[in-house]
């Protein structure tokens, strides 16, 4: 079973759609008989992805479009929405998936922070603000799926700009879903997609073979589609290393830092190492 928005002849728009999870999602949508638009940067990558999608779409290239878009620029996203409306009539599924992870340091270059926040957070905000009103006007069942991260929930040390961006995506998507379910005439729902360890160009770090602990992008997208159909808002993906139970314990511990007034990021604080290990083992 799939969500009604993921039906033949409906329209899916995927940002960051030229590779990784974005391309895997676009391929699944195309195989479902949907019209698909991918938005990304990198001319060759985009052209190759468009060719792949055309090869699996039941009606071929006529139902596929690809556009070079910098999601950190709202004018690019506005032009994308207008192009989708002109060619396909509008969007039924919007997957705000574009993301970068070049690495960051707390006191590193401000330009790095600005670029990460621009793509990973503002890209989601721009996509939602530009597409959602038109999607509501269409009066059809629709989906906005925003790609978050477990790093935006437990905020581990090591990449603060990425964590800040993904924490923002979580808070924004929660507010978006509240807004959509209370908007008159809206048949659109928002969902926070939280992948686990997925082997993509973003996570490969020079490796050419998938680590045993990682899921493929296709596995992750299949899980996403299944949980959207089930009505989940928080689509918390496991992988081959981390079970849902372990994710839940980590998330609960992070929330308890506030409730119990522990030091920030106590999971990585030496004074709490034994307590955290014991907490994880609790049933």
Angle (nearest 5°) at CA 263 between 260 and 264: 105
DSSP 8-state symbol, 262: P
Report d(CA 137, CA 121) in Å as an integer. 25
Find out whether 275 and 249 touch, Cβ atoms under 8 Å.
no
Please give the span between the terminal C-alpha atoms of the chain, in angstroms, as a whole number.
32
Closest CA to 238 of 250, 251, 225, 247: 247
Find out whether 60 and 54 touch, Cβ atoms under 8 Å.
yes
Report d(CA 228, CA 211) in Å as an integer. 27
Place of tokens 């999870």: 21
DSSP 8-state symbol, 214: P
| The token pair that represents 106 in the structure block | 């707390």
Annotated active-site residue 234? The verdict is no
Closest CA to 145 of 228, 40, 85, 88: 228
Catalytic choice (29, 122, 131, 162): 162
CA distances from 76 to 83, 118, 127, 152 (A): 11, 13, 10, 26
Beta strands across the sheet bearing 142-147: 64-68, 35-40, 11-15, 93-96, 142-147, 188-194, 234-236
Residues involved in catalysis: 162
């Amino acid at each position: 079973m799939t969500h009604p928005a993921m039906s033949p002849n409906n329209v899916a728009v995927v940002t960051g759609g030229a590779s990784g999870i974005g391309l895997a999602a676009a391929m699944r949508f195309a195989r479902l008989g949907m019209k698909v638009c991918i938005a990304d940067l990198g001319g060759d990558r985009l052209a190759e992805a468009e060719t792949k999608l055309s090869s699996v779409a039941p009606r071929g290239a006529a139902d596929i479009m690809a556009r070079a878009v910098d999601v950190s620029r709202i004018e690019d996203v506005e032009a994308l929405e207008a192009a989708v409306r002109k060619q396909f009539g509008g969007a039924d599924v919007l997957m705000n998936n574009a993301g970068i992870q070049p690495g960051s340091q707390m006191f590193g270059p401000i330009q790095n922070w600005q670029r990460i926040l621009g793509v990973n957070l503002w890209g989601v905000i721009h996509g939602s603000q530009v597409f959602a009103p038109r999607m509501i006007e269409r009066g059809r069942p629709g989906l906005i799926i925003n790609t978050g991260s477990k790093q935006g929930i437990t905020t581990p040390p090591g990449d603060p700009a990425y964590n800040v961006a993904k924490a923002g995506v979580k808070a924004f998507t929660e507010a978006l879903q509240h807004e959509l379910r209370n908007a008159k005439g809206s048949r659109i729902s928002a969902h926070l997609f939280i992948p686990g360890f997925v082997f993509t160009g973003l996570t490969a770090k020079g490796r050419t073979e998938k680590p045993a602990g990682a899921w493929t992008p296709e596995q992750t997208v299949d899980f996403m589609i299944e949980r959207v159909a089930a009505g989940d808002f928080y689509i918390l993906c496991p992988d081959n290393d981390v079970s849902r139970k372990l994710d839940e314990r980590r998330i609960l511990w992070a929330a308890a830092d506030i409730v119990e007034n522990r030091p920030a990021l106590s999971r990585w604080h030496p004074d709490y190492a034994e307590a955290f290990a014991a907490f994880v083992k609790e049933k």
